[in-house]
Structure 1
Amino acid sequence: MRVFVTGASGWIGSAVVPVLIGAGHQVAGLARSDASAATLASAGAEVVRGTLDDLDVLRGAAAASEGVIHLAFKHDIAFSGDFRGAAEADRVSVQAIGEALAGTGRPFVIASGTPAEPGRVATEGDGHGLDPAQAAGPQARAATSEWVLSLASRGVRSSVVRLPRSVHGEGDPGFIAALVRIARDRGVAGYFGDGTNRWPAVHRLDAAHLFHLALEEAPAGSTLHAVADEGVPLRDIAEVLSRRLNLPVAPVSPEDAAEHFAWLAPVLAADQPASSTLTRELMGWQPTLPGLIGDLDKGHYFG
């Protein structure tokens, strides 16, 4: 099928696009820069020039496609402190795409994040029933996912693939890479509190295969978890960083976390394990790539 992919040249998209093309799909990818356009063209994808703010471009590309995978998000402004603005731009762009697909029966797959459920492992059944008018912070993006799931009642085979805190692999620009930089800058491999808080994780190539499965097979209204490691304790991560960087490992108190970890402190402060049992049963998805600790031990984060 012809598939329109936003975020096609990003960390996840650059893994999803080759998987789709390898499976025989024709990919049209959104590109906001010459560099992104060149990356997509070299991968064998058609280039659609535009940004998440170009709603007519999004509507037209969605209408001309037989399926859409939405991976783009304004991470640059979100990480600079304007998560509300990034979430609002995401909501508006997603609604433009969804309206273009209404009544077609075509698949619409979007990326979101696994929820945190205090005291237990989050499942695909958690994090629903959000009121978009009341959602703030990270919940604002989750509320957009809820709207996409509601498109199942409007003739769209919609699904949400929730990604864990760590989507790792060679070239990872995300949270684990940030922890490596912080350890180097501070001269210590620190972990939050007692180090028992857990991050779910997945290799980005395993995640890419789940997006492909969702496009082709996910029932309308499905919530899927791209989780391989249910929960990796922060201390385990710090111990690998300590060994690889030849640095001491030490706890960082909650009171000192904001100074030590900067913008990453709130993410580290929550215990966030998540399960993918229901996804594996529904989709037959089985991660095959190394887990987070095994991937860290391969050494590419420390080059």
Structure 2
Amino acid sequence: MRIFLTGGTGYIGAAVLDAFVRAGHHVDALVRNSEKAGQAQARGATPVLGDASDPKTYADAAAAADGVVLTAYEYSPRGVQVDATTLDTVLASPRGPGRFLIYTSGVWVLGPAPSAVDETAALRPIELVSWRPAHEARVLDAATAGWRPIVIRPGVVYGGTRGMVGDLLKDASNSLIRVIGAGDNHWPLVYDRDLADLYVRVATNRDASGVYHANDEGDETVNQIVAALSEHAKTQPSVRHVPLPEAKQKMGPYAEALALDQIVRSPRARALGWNPSLHSVAGNAARLFEEWRRRG
């Protein structure tokens, strides 16, 4: 199967690229420069040099693929518009029989969820991702045009050096961890390689469509994660709890995401046979520290 992938050198995208290559699929990966082209090629992909904001640089590659997997997001003032442009470009390409589109969203569109919620829950997005439900809807509506549309909502991704858990690993190694709020909030978590496995599963299952949550259902609080990482750090770090209003002044709307309390379930993913190999950050702290050092 031929896959067109955006974000193939990013945190989620690199894991997804690896998973598709391991499964024997051809991956055309959109990259911005020669350095990233080398990174994608080293992982087994064919680089497509271009920019998501410039459709002519990748429209043909997207049109030639059996399926399109969107994992990229540009964290800049133009990020939302670039995301919309990518959807415009992909959805304008030919819709052959069985052609699929996988769009990466996230659990933050659910908003606060102190009680367990699944894929049927109403959306109450936090400010940082207030635009995402509209983009999800565009993808899902593409079913009427002949696409097999899929929206994946990853939890907080862990593994390696990047992401929110990667930041905690770095902070623990630097002997000072800052926790936004009281730390009793739950983060719905997912190991990067387990998440990537779900992308391959939905791509290769012709009956898979709609929304899929992806998290390990460990229901760990930030305090539990921090305590475990502190225990495995080389030196015991100090932990400072930063009130949310203070954090918002310094970090903007991202602070709300860090303090969000969510208990999320992924029944539709599990119905496909998806079963995460890791179910806990706290229970795998030593392993994650080793990965962080090795991949850093």
Determine whether 1:141 maps to 2:132: yes
Determine whether 1:179 maps to 2:172: no
The whole-number CA distance in structure 1 between the counterparts of 2:69 and 2:29 is 10
* Partner residue in 2 for 1:156: 147
Match runs of 1:259-278 below 5 Å: 264-278=254-268
Paired AA for residue 141 in structure 2? S
Quickly say closer, same or farther: Cα 1:161–1:101, change in 2 above 3 A. Answer: farther
* Partner residue in 2 for 1:219: 207
Quickly say closer, same or farther: Cα 1:59–1:255, change in 2 above 3 A. Answer: closer
Range with greater deviation from structure 2 (292-301 or 153-162): 292-301
Q: 5+ residue gaps in structure 2?
A: none
* Partner residue in 2 for 1:61: 61
* Partner residue in 2 for 1:242: 230
The whole-number CA distance in structure 2 between the counterparts of 1:301 and 1:65 is 33
Is the 2:229–2:282 contact (alpha carbons within 8 Å) kept by the matching residues of 1?
A: no
Quickly say closer, same or farther: Cα 1:19–1:182, change in 2 above 3 A. Answer: closer
Quickly say closer, same or farther: Cα 1:20–1:118, change in 2 above 3 A. Answer: closer
* Partner residue in 1 for 2:3: 3
- RMSD over aligned CA atoms reads 2.7
Is the 2:113–2:263 contact (alpha carbons within 8 Å) kept by the matching residues of 1?
A: no
* Partner residue in 2 for 1:300: 290
The whole-number CA distance in structure 2 between the counterparts of 1:206 and 1:65 is 24
Quickly say closer, same or farther: Cα 1:194–1:117, change in 2 above 3 A. Answer: closer
SS at 1:72's partner residue?
A: coil
The offset of 1:70, in angstroms, is 0.8
Quickly say closer, same or farther: Cα 1:105–1:99, change in 2 above 3 A. Answer: farther
SS at 1:219's partner residue?
A: coil
The whole-number CA distance in structure 2 between the counterparts of 1:301 and 1:217 is 31
The offset of 1:180, in angstroms, is 4.1
Quickly say closer, same or farther: Cα 1:266–1:184, change in 2 above 3 A. Answer: farther
Which residue of 87, 106, 110 corresponds with 1:113? 106
Quickly say closer, same or farther: Cα 1:264–1:300, change in 2 above 3 A. Answer: farther
Number of aligned residue pairs: 288
The whole-number CA distance in structure 2 between the counterparts of 1:208 and 1:199 is 19
Paired AA for residue 162 in structure 2? P
Deviations 1:165-221 (A, max 9, x none): x21112x31112223445666x54343333211111111000000000111116364
The offset of 1:230, in angstroms, is 4.6
Q: 5+ residue gaps in structure 1?
A: none
TM-score (normalised: structure 2): 0.86
Determine whether 1:126 maps to 2:126: no
Determine whether 1:34 maps to 2:24: no
Is the 2:69–2:101 contact (alpha carbons within 8 Å) kept by the matching residues of 1?
A: yes
Quickly say closer, same or farther: Cα 1:117–1:18, change in 2 above 3 A. Answer: same
